[in-house]
Amino acid sequence: MTAKSRNNLKKRSFVNHRITAYLLVLTSVMLGVLISSCSRPKEVLGRKDMEKLMYDIYIAEAMIENDYNEFGSPEKKEALIRGVFRKHGITQAQWDTSLSWYSDRIDLYMKMNDSVKARLQRSYMASDELMRRQLQQEQSLTARYYPPSHIPNCYAFDETHPKNGFRFRLDTAEISQRINENEFSFGFEVIGIPASPKPDLRAVLMLEYNDTVVYRYEVVAENREYLLQGEKYLPDDTIRNITGFVRLQDTTGLFRRIRLLNIFLGNPDDSLQQADRFKQIPPVHPREIKGLDPD
């Protein structure tokens, strides 16, 4: 055998060894995947099904945390979670078993958790953009169809049309037309405030006279009627403008069930409610301050 033949034989032997090594590695990987797949008990959900279930569970938990009135009791919380299980066609035991199995494989569980959170974030951003557009459309329609002096009969801080309040402004002519007596009130009834936590909800009435400005305000923290009182005439002074607003600071969306009913400016008899309605209400004495910025 020549030297050239021996060299060729060595090269072929080296290549064969490398191919054999690659095949062994590939076989090991495939066996590992197969063993891992076979090691998952049949009662444990597959990864995709588990991620879908985790997504709905996270949403349900957020609903429970943010809506105490609706899900304040353990029974209501359990009913909501059971509804999620029914949607996915599983039982509480399957959820517990699957969660325990994936939790024992922490790297895989963290990847799944990151995937679910990313999906939740995308959904939140899409929902937030939709609400922003709806709010812009509503504000545009309000400015187009209602004058600055418009006061709604009722008002909702809801999810369909997310809003943080309303405001109004009357000039001298509008005050003369709408308010007949010297003493008047800006009033409304509140429902939907939870026992805890309390919202950052305020009502302000700004009374502009020729020589002074008077502010009256109320912190709205209970489900009851509120009255902010004013006068057209002060000693040697007459009112020129009335500005009022109700403002809710709610960046978390916890208080979207709050409703304002029977809103009016003037006298209780001028509103849609019966005249005797407010006669039975203890008088409310709003605080009087100066220098409060209505914005």
**In the chain, where the domains are located:** 38-145, 149-289
Cα separation, 201 vs 255, in Å, equals 10
What is the pLDDT at residue 64?
81
Whether residue 153 contacts residue 263, with contact meaning beta carbons closer than 8 Å, is answered with yes
pLDDT given for residue 201 in this prediction:
93
Q: Is 197 exposed, middle or buried (0-12, 13-18, 19+ CB in 10 A)?
A: exposed
pLDDT > 60? residue 279:
no
Indicate whether 162 pLDDT > 70: no
SS3 call for 115: helix
Cα–Cα distance, 294 to 21 (Å, whole number): 78
> Considering the chain, what percentage of its residues have pLDDT values greater than 70?
68
pLDDT exceeds 80 at position 44 = yes
| 94-146 pLDDT per residue, tens | 999 999 999 999 999 999 999 999 998 888 787 667 656 665 665 565 556 67
Query: Mean pLDDT, the chain, as a whole number?
Result: 77
**Residue 211 confidence (pLDDT):** 87
Other C-beta atoms closer than 10 Å to the C-beta of 217 total: 19
Phi, psi at residue 150, to the nearest 5°?
Answer: -65, 135
pTM: 0.46
CATH 2.60.120 for domain 149-289, yes or no, is yes
